[in-house]
């Protein structure tokens, strides 16, 4: 039986999520990869326990994380039952629905039918009465926004989630969602967009500033640009990497041309001068201005958790460093 480290809260940074009363760790554990039916249970446990032992209290899931779809929630449910349930009150567990989950017209999108059925299924897999945060995973142009936001409101009022969020919504869509949720009195506290040094759309769109100005938390996913900012591609594309091995449906060799590789090499030089790895600097950069609440990290082994946490030793950047980074990007 797992026993958590007594010193687990001593070094982690916790940031308030927008204007809510909820605090999230500066780094949260994303379970998009490495927790599916194809992965080893003991390694999953080691990753989760290492994270929790170092103050990472937030575990981010979705209905279709795997592979296979749903297996990440099932595995998290098994680990909660065997080891982590005594610590449930110290954990933030989130889930989402919005992408395809099951066959037929009710297994995708933003209908009330889909969102409520999906969360009911997620709670059974997790063995929980409620999740702390439930997100609509992506905008659905075929469903009225009022219906989708109404479903999120109903979910909170039924006690199935404490807070709600949205993911992958652009600024204009977020404004409309916020207005509906505010009118309903729904605790909308967080947005989960893709954000990294190599993908700054939330700055260009105005979403990042909008969230900050309106007291809505922001948690960034894909902070390492699907591994490009880990340093593994500094000398080309290894055959056993996600890109080289064709393991990722989201990353292809054309995503990493010589121009982008050169940018990564220059960023790596700045990281070295800061006493950080490229990974650590990329994570710290997202947290640089206090407008992002938390950064989602992934891990295939516990050592990566420990490496990533060191990013928090230095999240401050000089004006010169920021100018150099912007010049590269």
**DSSP states of 21-76 as a string?**
S-EEESEEEE-SSS-STTS-HHHHHHHHHHHHHTT--EEE--TT-TTTTTHHHHHH
Tokens of 71: 């297996």
What pLDDT was estimated at residue 154? 98
Q: How many CB atoms lie within 10 A of CB 6?
A: 8
Instruction: With beta carbons less than 8 A apart as the criterion, state whether 18 and 217 touch.
Output: yes
Give 28-54 pLDDT, tens digit per residue. 999 999 999 999 999 999 999 999 999
Contacts of 200 (CB under 8 A, 6+ apart): 329
- Predicted confidence (pLDDT) at residue 284 exceeds the cutoff of 90: yes
Mean pLDDT over 77-85 rounds to 98
Tokens of 92: 């933030």
Report the distance separating Cα 123 and Cα 65, nearest Å. 14
The three-class DSSP label of residue 14 is: strand
Report the distance separating Cα 37 and Cα 236, nearest Å. 31
Band of pLDDT at residue 95, cut at 50, 70 and 90:
very high
Mean pLDDT over 139-164 rounds to 98
Mean pLDDT over 268-293 rounds to 98
Query: Which CA distances in Å does 313 have to 111, 287, 308?
Result: 43, 12, 10
Q: What is the pTM of this model?
A: 0.94
- Predicted confidence (pLDDT) at residue 241 exceeds the cutoff of 90: no
- The class of domain 14-228+286-315 in CATH terms is alpha beta
Band of pLDDT at residue 78, cut at 50, 70 and 90:
very high
Query: What's the CA dihedral at 6, 7, 13, 17 to 10 degrees?
Result: 10
Band of pLDDT at residue 293, cut at 50, 70 and 90:
very high
Higher pLDDT, 252 or 300: 300
Instruction: Give the angle 27-194-283 at the CA atoms, nearest 5°.
Output: 35
What pLDDT was estimated at residue 176? 98
Mean pLDDT over 122-126 rounds to 98
Instruction: With beta carbons less than 8 A apart as the criterion, state whether 223 and 195 touch.
Output: yes
């Amino acid at each position: 039986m797992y026993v958590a480290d007594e010193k687990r809260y001593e070094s982690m940074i916790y940031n308030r999520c927008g204007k809510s009363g909820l605090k999230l760790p500066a780094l949260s554990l994303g379970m998009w990869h490495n927790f599916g039916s194809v992965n080893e249970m003991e390694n999953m446990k080691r990753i989760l326990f290492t994270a929790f032992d170092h103050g990472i209290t937030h575990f981010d899931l979705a209905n279709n994380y795997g592979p296979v779809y749903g297996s990440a929630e099932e595995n998290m449910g098994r680990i909660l039952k065997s080891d982590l349930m005594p610590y449930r009150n110290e954990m933030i567990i989130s889930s989402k629905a919005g992408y395809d989950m099951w066959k037929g017209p009710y297994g995708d999108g933003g209908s009330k039918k889909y969102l409520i059925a999906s969360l009911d299924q997620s709670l059974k897999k997790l063995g929980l009465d409620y999740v702390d945060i439930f997100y609509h995973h992506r905008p659905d142009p075929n469903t009225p926004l009022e219906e989708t936001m109404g479903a999120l409101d109903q979910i909170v009022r039924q006690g199935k989630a404490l807070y709600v969020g949205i993911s992958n919504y652009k600024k204009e869509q977020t404004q409309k969602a916020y207005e509906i949720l505010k009118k309903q009195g729904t605790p909308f506290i967080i947005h989960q967009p893709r954000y990294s040094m190599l993908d700054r759309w939330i700055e260009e769109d105005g979403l990042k500033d909008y969230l900050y100005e309106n007291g809505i938390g922001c948690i960034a996913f894909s902070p390492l640009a699907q591994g490009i900012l880990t340093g593994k591609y500094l000398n080309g594309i290894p055959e056993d990497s996600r890109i080289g091995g064709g393991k990722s449906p989201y990353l292809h060799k054309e995503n990493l041309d010589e121009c982008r590789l050169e940018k990564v090499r220059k960023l790596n030089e700045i990281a070295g001068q800061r006493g950080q790895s490229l990974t650590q600097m990329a994570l710290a950069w997202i947290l640089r201005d206090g407008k992002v609440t938390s950064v989602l990290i992934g891990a295939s082994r516990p050592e990566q958790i420990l490496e990533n946490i060191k990013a928090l030793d230095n999240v401050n950047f000089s004006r010169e460093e920021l100018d150099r980074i912007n010049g590269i990007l």
